[in-house]
Amino acid sequence: MKHFLQLRDFSRDEIEHLFKRTRVIKDRFKNYIAYQPLVDRMLAMVFEKSSTRTRVSFEAGMFQMGGASIVLNMGDTQLGRGEPIEDVARVVSRMVDIVMIRTFEQTIIERFAAHSRVPVINGLTNEYHPCQILADIYTFVEHRGSITGRTVAWIGDSNNMCNTWLQAARILDFKLNIASPPGYELEPARASGVDRAHLELFSDPLAASKGADLVTTDVWTSMGFEAETDDRKSAFAAFMVDAEMMAVARPDALFMHCLPAHRGEEVSADVLEGPQSVVWEEAENRLHVQKALMEYLLLGKVDT
Ligand code: CP
Ligand code: NVA
């Protein structure tokens, strides 16, 4: 049994398999060809943080593949009244076939997985957002071909998205340029041992974007850090991705954002809505890559 708790739980070969299956599953969906390999399978989704895309994409995806899903929101389960995560894992995983969790510390999902009888998927933690990075890279590949050897510019907070991009750079062999303001840089432990071919750190966002194939950013304040919102607004003021920043990237550079976006903060409205932005395709691809992910975790390497 395999879990997907962080991107590096999967090898390059497994990620390439997922992308191959995503193509097949997406094509069938677009052509109204039913594909239901997960009849009678049940997904439970545990949310300790808010969500729009993650919830809709997993629930719709499971339904389209013939299965069903249950949403457990923190506030209306016994988890919210202090039931240990290990007990929830032992009970829920006797009743369903696969679990997705969105929570705070990565250790919470690791504790859940350690007590689960079924595969567990990370639907976002403070540290990682691997489903989103699968969708982002799949979207890049759809538009521009292989990401290997390319340069991705990450502008802003060194958060769960940024940490996952770094894992992706090492697995899929591309370069990640990170530009963050003082006090919000990548944790040194994450950078240690990563060579210059995969990671370069910048203080100037324009320097990080120069020559990039993809420019990407995220909210300045992630869920769980709301108390820091005002401090972050001033610290990140020079880190908005705008037309000037896109102009120093490659002329065919794409712009991505995992959404929800704040126009006029981390991204200007003209970039978000502009011709280089693929944010809506990126969001849609959550559906398709996660269907491939659930197929792989439940059925292994399918080739039909
Ligand atoms: N990008 C993303 O995970 O969106 P939600 O928070 O809406 O699920
Ligand atoms: N970094 C953001 C991503 C939201 C999808 C957060 O954790 O809130």
Cα–Cα distance, 16 to 27 (Å, whole number) = 17
Q: What is the pLDDT of residues 191-206, one digit of tens each?
A: 999 999 999 999 999 9
Q: 112 Cβ partners below 8 Å, 6+ apart? A: 46, 85, 86, 88, 89, 99, 101, 120
Q: Taking the CA of residue 264 as centre, how many other CA atoms within 13 Å lie in the half-sphere pointing to its CB?
A: 0
This prediction's pTM: 0.98
**pLDDT of 60 over the 90 cut:** yes
Which listed ligand is nearest to 122 at the C-alpha? 1
Q: What is the mean pLDDT of residues 259-286?
A: 98
**pLDDT of 24 over the 90 cut:** yes
| Number of compact structural domains in the chain | 2
Q: Ligand 1 centre from 288 Cα, in Å?
A: 15
Determine whether 218 is an active site residue.
Answer: yes
Specify if 256 maps to a domain. yes
Q: Are residues 53 and 165 in the same domain?
A: no
Reduce the DSSP state of residue 159 to 3 states and report it.
coil
Residue 197 domain boundaries: 132-278
What confidence score (pLDDT) does residue 252 get?
Answer: 98
Q: Check 21, 258, 288, 290 and give the catalytic one.
A: 258
Q: Are residues 137 and 98 in the same domain?
A: no
Among 259, 280, 285, which residue has the most ligand 1 atoms within 8 Å of its CB, making it the best to mutate? 259
Instruction: Please state, in angstroms and as integers, the Cα–Cα distance from residue 137 to each residue in 16, 39, 91, 134, 202, following that order.
Output: 11, 29, 35, 5, 22
What confidence score (pLDDT) does residue 302 get?
Answer: 96
Q: Evaluate: CB of 223 within 6 angstroms of ligand 2.
A: yes
Binning pLDDT at 50, 70 and 90, where does residue 16 land?
A: very high
CB-based contact 118:99 (threshold 8 Å): yes
Q: Are residues 62 and 117 in the same domain?
A: yes
Q: Ligand 1 centre from 279 Cα, in Å?
A: 12
What percent of the chain is predicted at pLDDT more than 90?
A: 98
Length of the chain equals 304
Q: Ligand 1 centre from 234 Cα, in Å?
A: 24
Ligand 1 binding residues, C-beta < 6 A: 51-54, 124, 132, 258-259
What confidence score (pLDDT) does residue 202 get?
Answer: 98
Q: What is the pLDDT of residues 124-133, one digit of tens each?
A: 999 999 999 9
Binning pLDDT at 50, 70 and 90, where does residue 296 land?
A: very high
Specify if 95 maps to a domain. yes
CB-based contact 98:104 (threshold 8 Å): no
Q: Are residues 76 and 211 in the same domain?
A: no
Specify if 1 maps to a domain. no
Cα–Cα distance, 218 to 107 (Å, whole number) = 23
**pLDDT of 75 over the 90 cut:** no
Determine whether 198 is an active site residue.
Answer: no
Least confident of 69-83, 101-115, 142-156, 266-280: 69-83
Q: What is the mean pLDDT of residues 246-272?
A: 98
Q: Are residues 13 and 44 in the same domain?
A: yes
Q: 83 Cβ partners below 8 Å, 6+ apart? A: 77
Q: Are residues 111 and 172 in the same domain?
A: no
Average pLDDT of the residues of the chain? 98
CB atoms within 10 A of CB 80: 12
Handedness of CA 217, 283, 17, 115 (dihedral sign): positive
